[in-house]
Chain A
């Protein structure tokens, strides 16, 4: 400062501002970094707790116990194939519902709907997205089961994996729709114009040009939806039947990784005291975490591919 006042040449020091402002800047930067680091700490904490308790669970059983025919953790039977198969069936049903319906809705909203129609329909999809999953679980028990599955498949149990899968599918539609719509809208309009210029009809343009051009984003939406369906808990907990036997088809009652965790955690108030029962859900949690994480990473790859293209 003094140098400038004296009328001499400016130095670097004169340009770097006064000390108190620099100190403040420093403090703020440290505080912001600390806040951002919370997420890293949370991630480490998730992986640490899952690993420690899952490994301690695996150490307390024989590994062949995991091949048991049933999952009944309170009786020390840990046939992990039952919840895995249940998750597979529920996810399959959910994706068969949410995939085509979500994609169809997205194609309509992106390629056909007028701005006015879009403005009215979009909020409806958003309302569906904000309905708590436990409410969809209630809907699955009281509507989907008696009105749909019990009519179509007579003799199937009132609560089964199909009922749960349909409910989870309903929950997953908004995610599929919004990711697919973003992917379709990212397709540059000159591709569509070139197609029209060659005399192609609207349906040809959409099916042969727009959808193939958006395919990476659509695949990402599908993978994210699968990941979401695998992680959904409450619908399956309420409507899946909570049975630990191996389901042979979606029409059997069963459980999933998530619902099995919820059933162990609910129920008695003193679950931790019953041997390694409670620890078993950390093992399930680790399996669930690994599954959804790898799917999400894969989806991220596809999303980045879209960004690079256009």
Chain B
């Protein structure tokens, strides 16, 4: 074989450049990265599978309506999550009514009324730091303010109103941060157009900025809401019920209450042989609510993203 045959040279150079067959570390690295994702997916699948078996059995043998509409009972085969559903839905409504307007107003202040002074900088720093405060600390605050503290006569102590107020405070920074991001994404030229025809700051905000930022704001609020509904730690401190109690129906804002995450937490610690089925069923119902809300949020976000 001739040492300098052009075909051979070309082949050797080409394979050297492409590093064919020699990129073992590259392949190994990619396999390593993919296995990280596989672990994440596997964990999620295992989690969903671990709550599906007995949970689906319970729901199908008893009927979803029976399980959802029955109040607490000390007997697992008779117990339902009616009071938990009421508590969770009511807190959601309170959070939406309080955290949404307050959060959006704060975001408008930070983005549209921003003056570089100590007050705005303070508010900005405070909101950023509040977002990282653990949920259980908000529970302590809720306890100190609404359960044992100055607002007890208004909230009735350990009540769904206290829980709703506490969770509103918890999601407020999330709503502010995501709304501020959505407002920041509105193009400057739109505002300048508004000011150019003589509109005031509020008129520009109300008619140009907010309608354009609405998608992002809505998504942020919805995701915040889903987070609030899954929280159990603050509810332990606010004093959600886990034993059989009367009441806890619709509209009972100041009486005893419970919520879905509390029910799951309590039933998880009861003897598995008898309580596993209803615990899993309660988890499935909660996941349905939380993931349902999240899906709506993600779909809305994708729709608004596409428009841009």
Contacts and interface: CB of A to CB of B under 8 A. Distances in A.
Interface string B49-93: 011000000000000000000000000000000000000000000
A297 B129 contact: yes
Interface in B9-40: 19, 23, 25-26, 29-30, 32-37, 39-40
Contacts of B25: 203
Interface string A262-282: 100110000010000000011
A233 B134 contact: yes
Nearest to B262: A134
A203 B36 contact: no
B2 interface: no
A22 B132 CA distance: 38
A289 B26 CA distance: 43
Contacts of B200: 17, 21-22, 24-25
Contact of B134 (A39, A281, A288, A297): A288
A121 B298 contact: no
Interface residues of A, number: 87
A237 B203 CA distance: 50
Interface in A118-164: 121, 123-128, 130-139, 141-143
A138 B33 contact: no
Contacts of A232: 134
A281 B143 CA distance: 11
A172 B39 CA distance: 14
B113 interface: yes
Given A32-B113, A138-B279, A50 B136 contact: no
A238 interface: yes
Contact of B23 (A43, A123, A203): A203
Contacts of A202: 26
Contacts of B33: 104-105, 107-108, 112
Contacts of A173: 40
Given A25-B202, A293-B129, A293-B133, A38 B43 contact: no
A33 interface: yes
A198 interface: no
Which residue, of B47, B101, B106, B145, has the highest number of chain A Cβ atoms within 10 A? Answer: B47
A126 B113 contact: no
A84 B128 CA distance: 26
A131 B288 CA distance: 10
Contact of B291 (A40, A127, A265): A127
A286 to B, nearest CB: 9
B102 A35 contact: yes
Given A28-B202, A42-B172, A134 B261 contact: yes
Interface in B196-250: 198, 200-203, 223, 226-227, 229-233, 236-237, 239, 242
A285 interface: yes
B148 interface: yes
A35 B105 contact: yes
B23 to A, nearest CB: 6
A292 B105 contact: no
A231 interface: yes
A206 interface: yes
A207 B105 contact: no
B203 to A, nearest CB: 8
A259 B218 CA distance: 33
A31 B126 CA distance: 19
A142 B232 contact: no
A135 B128 contact: no
A243 interface: no
Given A39-B130, A127-B294, A233-B136, A135 B47 contact: yes
Contact of B233 (A21, A22, A102, A234): A234
Contacts of B223: 130
B133 A292 contact: yes
Contacts of A124: 40-41, 44
B272 A130 contact: no
A93 interface: no
Nearest to B229: A132
Given A46-B137, A238-B269, A100 B232 contact: no
Contact of A40 (B41, B123, B261, B298): B123
Contacts of A49: 140-141, 144-145, 149
Contacts of A143: 46-47, 50
Interface of B: 19, 23, 25-26, 29-30, 32-37, 39-41, 43-44, 46-47, 50-51, 101-102, 105-106, 108-110, 113, 119, 122-123, 126-130, 132-141, 143-145, 148-149, 169, 172-173, 176, 198, 200-203, 223, 226-227, 229-233, 236-237, 239, 242, 261, 264-265, 268-269, 272, 276, 279, 283, 286-287, 290-291, 294, 298
